[in-house]
Amino acid sequence: MRTIDLGESGLRVTELGCGGIPIMRVSLEEAKVIFRRCFELGIRFFDTAHVYNDSEEKLGAALEPFRDQVVIATKVWAKEAQAAEKELAMSFNRLKTERIDLIQCHNVSNQEDLDRVLSPGGAYEILAKAKAEGRVRAIGFSSHNPDIAIKAISTAKFTTLQFPFNFIESDPQEKVFPAARERGMGLIAMKPLGGGLLERADLCFRFLQQYQDVVPIPGIQSIEEIQEIVGYYKRRRPLSQDDREEMQRIRKELGGRFCHRCEYCMPCEQGVQIPRVLLIKSQVRRFSPKQLIVIAKEAVSSVEQCVECGECVERCPYALPVPDMLKENVEIFRKFLTEHDLQA
C-alpha cells in the first residue's frame, strides 16, 4: 500500500483509509478482528467521529497495540467551544490515546454552522488550543455543501477537507478540490461507495485511483469487505471503456434519485428534515435497526408535515423529486423495522 502526504497537514497516510461508521453494527470483539485485519493488510489511516456511537471505543481498543504506527482521525460535532471541549475529552478517552492526529469539525454544511464554529467561543478555539498544546496534530473539517466548503477553505483555518466523492458525486473535482489543493489541504473522500448505494466496488475504486492525492475511507464492517477493496489496490488497472460505459449507465439509473446531502433544499418551512430522511436508503445498509430508530425517528416523523409545496424541488440543484423520495425513504424505514420485528 502506497503512503502519501495528506496535503501539507504534516500527516502521512496510506492511499486507502478505513471509515468507522458501519463498525457500530458489530460487537467489540468482531470490530477488533476487523480493524486488526485492516492493519495487517497495510492500512494505516482510520477515521471515526464522536457521534458514531461506540465507533471511537472500538477503534481505540483495536489499534492500541499499534497506536504509534497509525494515523487516527476523528471529529467533533459540537459547534460551540464548551461542548466541543467535552467531546474532545471523551474522544481522547475512548480512543485510548494522548494524541489525536487529525481532528475535524464535523459536517460544516451551512453558513450558520461555519459561523458558529469560527466565531469567538466557537469549537475551533478548542481545537486550536489542543493543537497548540501538541495534543492534536492537524485540524480539518467535513462538509457536504460545495459553497460552504469553499468558504471554509478560504479561511485558511483548516489543513484537511473531507467531502463525499465517488463516480456519481464527482462534482468536487471541479471547484472544491482545486480550491483545497491551492491551500495545500489534504483531501479525504467520504462515501467512496455512495454511502453503500453503489454496488460495483471495483468501479468505485478504479474511479478513485485516478485521483492520487485523494484518500478514500470506505466504511468497513467485515474482513471480506476490506480484503476485496485492498485487492483492487493490489491488482490495480485503469478504467477501461467498458468500465466508463457501465459507470455512465449507473449514473443515469441512480443519478436522478441520488441525494448529495448538500442542504440547498433547506430549510423547509414545514420543518421537514429533508436530507436526513433521504439518507435512510443508505443508512439501512450501515446501521442496526435500533441505531436507525435513534438516528432517524424524528426525521421520519417530520415528513408528516410535508404539504408538497415543491419549494425544495426548485432549490435542489439536481432537481430531485424530493416529496416522492421522502415517501420512499419512510417506506424503506418502516419495512426495515418490520423485518426486524421493531416499531419506531
Q: Does 307 bind ligand SF4 (CB under 6 A)?
A: yes
Figure out which of the listed residues 309, 324, 331, 340 binds ligand SF4, where binding follows CB under 6 A.
309
For position 310 contacting ligand SF4 by CB under 6 A, the verdict is: yes
308 binds ligand SF4 (CB under 6 A): yes
Span near ligand SF4 by CB under 6 A; candidates 40-48, 58-66, 76-84, 301-309: 301-309
Distance CA 269, CA 307 (A): 10
Kindly state the DSSP code that residue 72 receives in the 8-state scheme. E
Single-letter residue type at 203 = L
Please state, in angstroms and rounded to a whole number, the distance separating the CA atoms of residues 157 and 180.
12
Counting contacts by CB under 6 A, is residue 318 touching ligand SF4? yes
Q: Is 328 in the site for ligand SF4 (CB under 6 A)?
A: no
Which one of residues 6, 265, 284, 300 is an interface residue with ligand SF4 (CB under 6 A)? 265
Residue 218 is classified by DSSP as: -
- Please state the closest distance from residue 269 (CB atom) to ligand SF4, in A: 7
Kindly write down the DSSP assignment for every residue of 317-341, as one continuous string. Answer: TT---HHHHHHHHHHHHHHHHHHTT
Per CB under 6 A, the segment of 44-52, 132-140, 245-253, 313-321 that binds ligand SF4 is: 313-321
The set of cell numbers assigned to 164 is 463525499
User: What residues form DSSP beta bridges with 104?
Assistant: 75, 140
In whole angstroms, give the CA distance from residue 341 to residue 6: 45
| CA distances for 47 relative to 95, 186, 222, 309, angstroms | 11, 14, 16, 39
If one asks whether residue 147 binds ligand SF4 (CB under 6 A), the answer comes out as: no
The residue type found at 17 is: G
Is residue 272 at the binding interface for ligand SF4, with CB under 6 A as the rule? yes
Residue 278 interacts with ligand SF4 (CB under 6 A): yes or no: yes
Q: Which residues of the chain form beta strands (DSSP E)?
A: 3-5, 12-14, 18-19, 45-47, 71-76, 100-105, 136-142, 160-164, 186-190, 214-216
Report the residue from 108, 322, 330, 337 that binds ligand SF4 according to the rule CB under 6 A. 322
Q: Does 230 bind ligand SF4 (CB under 6 A)?
A: no
199 or 304, CB closer to ligand SF4? 304
Dihedral of CA atoms 277, 283, 289, 295 in degrees, nearest 10, equals -50
Tell which one of 262, 280, 292, 300 touches ligand SF4 (CB under 6 A): 262
Residue 229 host element (H or E): helix 223-234
Can residue 136 be called a binding residue for ligand SF4 (CB under 6 A)? no
Question: Scanning the structure block, which residue is given the C-alpha cell 483548516?
Answer: 158
Rule CB under 6 A: is residue 337 a binding residue for ligand SF4?
no
Task: For the CB of residue 339, give the shortest distance to ligand SF4 in the complex, in Å.
Answer: 26
Least spacing, CB of residue 306 vs ligand SF4, in Å = 3
Q: Does 263 bind ligand SF4 (CB under 6 A)?
A: yes
Q: What does 90-144 look like in DSSP terms, one character per residue?
A: HHHHHTT-S-EEEEEE----SHHHHHHHHSTTBHHHHHHHHHHTTSEEEEEEE-S
204 binds ligand SF4 (CB under 6 A): no
218 near 18, Cβ under 8 Å?
yes
Q: Tell me the C-alpha distance between 147 and 165, whole Å.
A: 15
274 lines the binding site for ligand SF4 (CB under 6 A): yes
Q: Segment near ligand SF4 (CB under 6 A), from 20-28, 160-168, 184-192, 311-319?
A: 311-319
Name which of 40 and 324 has its Cβ closer to ligand SF4.
Answer: 324
Kindly state whether residue 149 participates in binding ligand SF4, applying the rule CB under 6 A: no
Which residues would be at the binding site for ligand SF4 (CB under 6 A)? 259-265, 268, 270, 272, 274-275, 278, 306-312, 316, 318, 320, 322-323
